[in-house]
Every structure is written in C-alpha cells, then in structure tokens.
C-alpha cells in the first residue's frame, strides 16, 4: 500500500534541530504528535507524569519544548506543571498543555502556572505545529539576543578596562619621565599614589568617599609634579641650595602643572581632572598659610591636596634626593610631627601616624627589591 508522504504546508524546518519531550499515557496520542514534530525535533516520550517530570528536570538545558497531557497516571499534567514552577523550569523551557479537557478551570490554572499554550485534543496538525514552532522560535531568538548582548557587554567592559589601564599607564609614564629628569627613580610617583590611596582607604580621611572617587584621587596624585617639566635642568638638578630667584622658578611648577593639565581636553573630561589640577597647584600650600603659590590656609586647602602634600614630604625625607641623603625613619617622623618640615592639619597627622607602620612597609619592600 503506498504511503502518502506529502505534508501540509507548515513553518519551514528550523535551522537547528532540538529536543522535544512528549508526555502522554496514550500511545496513539504520542505517535500522532511524534509524527507531526519528527521533521523538526529529536523526540523523546514519557508515558506518565512522573517519568515526564524526571526527564524534563534531567534535560532542561537541551529541551526546546514539552508537550504535556493532562489526565495521566502517577502525576497528572497540572501536578507536573506545579513541580516545574517550583524548580523554575518554565522560564527556560516552553511547556504546552495538550488536553481533551480544555475546561475553564484547567485552562485557567495552567495559564496561571505559566504554561505557554493550551492546545485541545484531538489535535489539528497545522495548528499545533504553528503554535509550538512560533514559541520555540521566540525562545531561541530571545536566547540568541541575550547571548549577543552578554558577549557585547563583556567586550565593552574589556575594552573600557584596557583604555583605563592605558590612560593610567600614560599618566604614570609622563610623571615618571619628569621624575627621571630630576634623577629620581620614578618610584616616587608610585609611592605617592600608594600612600594617598592607603590613607583614604584605611583612615577616617576617606569617610564618605566611594571607591571610584578614591581611585580618581589616587590617580590624580601621580600628576602632582607634572609642572616640573617647565623647570630648567640646572635648577631641578642643582645639588646645593637654590638662590631666591631659582627658588621662585622652582615654586612655579605648581602653577605650571595646573596650567599643563588644563590644556589636555581629554583629561578635562576625566573624573580625576578636578583633583589632579587642584593637587598640582596646591600640594605646596601649608596649614598655617605660609605655603605657595596661593598662600591658602587651613581648610581652604582641599583634603586631597593636603594628603598629597604630606605624602610628598614623607617620601622626600625618607629617600635620598640630589640635595640631601635619606633620613632614618624616626627622624622623618619627628620632623613631620614637630613641624620642622611642613605644617599640617593635626587631624591629618593623627590619621597618618595611625597607619605609618603600614606606610613604612612600602620602603622596606623597596629595599628588599633593590637588593634582590
């Protein structure tokens, strides 16, 4: 007997095959549905609700759709649905109720539980095919889209991170280049960054600041001496005491630094810019008002400029410079405490000395590093 293989026009076969589960205790029902969907899916069947539920839970990541009968032994279709809701499977796998009892209450509860569609038996092939395929395609499109968006977000984050790293690298390179001019190691700016960041993170000085702001201030601290690029080598590297005229030129690195930073448009759009400009101009102000260039006094000086000023003095005293040898740690702390070098906010000093043990470790590490 010839077998007629022509099929009614339905949605074209989807580009990707997937798995479908048919849960029905009636073998003829199973066979009819399998016959309809076999061209599009790898079909699995379960003959009762309990077996069906186990199969769904085991294969939830690969199933494209589940066709579920209502009246079945072991667990009925609604009981299976409730279990799937508890397991959070219905958001991932579209489930269709195929039922001869499309009564008001069954349908209402099924939809309330989150079933995709309720299709009445006996099924009409082109109807059940279209309704199921539309939903499967929707789920697939949604998943493709969310995969694309996730990948794009990861790409963007990676790119943004690279750009931030590059920016930071360029800023450090600029600052280090200036340090090298004054025959220093370039480690100075790195330590100023670390001391500033440490004080903000681990003392009350950083209270009310978020991580972004703290990182911006730490980054800005690196640029505190960029104005030295405008100071001639002869003055910058002079081993002895500067003449009053030379000192005036040297003092100008604060104003020159702020002016230099003002002239980089890309930096002006960066969150670190206001801090960088302020720190470059005011890191030689003094708490008593006798600093330069503006003679600001007390709280007129921003907290970050005060912190960098103290870090700068601490680091200068702790290390050898062209004009001086390194002082021992006790001497450094005494000079800062007594006001022999600089004049600082008492609250700032209290915070500083509270964590000086940890800050000093930056120098111990360096010595070890230098010896190795």
Chain positions contacting other proteins, by CB under 8 A:
1-8, 26-29, 31-32, 35-36, 71, 100, 121-125
- For 329, the token pair is 């740690």
Beta carbon nearer to other proteins, 20 or 36:
36
Minimum CB distance to other proteins, residue 82 (Å): 22
∠ CA 266-267-270, nearest 5°, is 100
324, 183 contact by CB (below 8 A): no
Return the number of the residue (125 or 289) whose C-beta is nearest other proteins: 125
Beta bridge pairs of residue 46: 23
| Joined tokens for residue 84 | 């799937």
Scan for tokens 């889209």, then name that residue.
145
**Is 355:198 a contact under the CB 8 Å cutoff?**
yes
CB of 2 to other proteins, least distance (A): 8
Instruction: Considering the complex, state which of residue 88 and residue 122 has its C-beta at the smaller distance from other proteins.
Output: 122
- Least Å from the CB of residue 69 to other proteins: 9
Q: At its nearest, how many Å lie between other proteins and the CB of residue 53? A: 21
User: Toward other proteins, which CB reaches closer, 3 or 338?
Assistant: 3
In the chain, alpha helices (H) = 27-37, 49-58, 77-87, 104-113, 125-181, 187-202, 211-222, 233-236, 244-251, 253-262, 265-268, 273-282, 303-318, 329-338, 346-354, 356-371
Query: Minimum Å distance from CB 25 to other proteins?
Result: 9
313 touches 342 (CB < 8 A): yes
Residue whose CB is less far from other proteins, 93 or 97:
97
């Amino acid at each position: 007997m010839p077998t007629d293989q022509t099929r009614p026009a339905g949605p074209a076969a989807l580009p990707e095959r997937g798995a479908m589960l048919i849960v029905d205790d009636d073998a003829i029902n199973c066979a009819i549905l399998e016959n309809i969907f076999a061209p599009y899916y790898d079909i699995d069947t379960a003959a009762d609700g309990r077996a069906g539920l186990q199969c769904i839970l085991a294969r939830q990541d690969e199933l494209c759709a589940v066709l579920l009968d209502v009246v079945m032994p072991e667990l009925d279709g609604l009981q299976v649905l409730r279990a799937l809701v508890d397991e959070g499977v219905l958001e991932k796998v579209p489930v269709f109720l195929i039922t001869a009892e499309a009564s008001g209450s069954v349908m209402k509860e099924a939809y309330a539980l989150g079933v995709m569609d309720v299709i009445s038996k006996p099924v009409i092939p082109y109807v059940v095919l279209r309704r199921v395929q539309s939903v499967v395609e929707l789920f697939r499109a949604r998943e493709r889209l969310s995969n694309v968006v996730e990948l794009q977000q990861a790409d963007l984050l990676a790119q943004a991170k690279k750009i931030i790293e590059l920016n930071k690298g360029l800023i450090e390179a600029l600052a280090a280049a200036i340090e090298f001019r004054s025959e220093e190691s370039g480690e100075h700016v790195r330590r100023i960054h670390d001391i500033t960041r440490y004080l903000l993170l681990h003392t009350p000085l950083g209270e009310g600041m978020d991580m972004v702001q703290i990182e911006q201030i730490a980054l800005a601290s690196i640029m505190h001496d960029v104005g030295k690029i405008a100071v001639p080598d002869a003055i910058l590297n002079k081993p002895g005491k500067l003449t009053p005229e030379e000192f005036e030129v040297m003092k100008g690195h604060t104003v020159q630094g702020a002016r230099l930073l003002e002239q980089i448009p890309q930096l002006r759009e960066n969150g670190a810019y206001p801090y960088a400009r302020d720190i470059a101009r005011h890191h030689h102000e003094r708490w008593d008002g006798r600093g330069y260039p503006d003679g600001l006094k007390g709280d007129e000086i921003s907290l970050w400029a005060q912190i960098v000023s103290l870090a700068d003095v601490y680091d200068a005293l702790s290390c050898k410079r062209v004009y001086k040898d390194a002082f021992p740690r006790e001497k450094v702390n005494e000079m800062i405490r007594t006001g022999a070098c600089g004049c600082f906010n008492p609250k700032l000093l209290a915070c500083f000395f509270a964590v000086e043990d940890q800050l000093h470790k930056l120098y111990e590490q360096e010595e070890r590093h230098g010896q190795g």
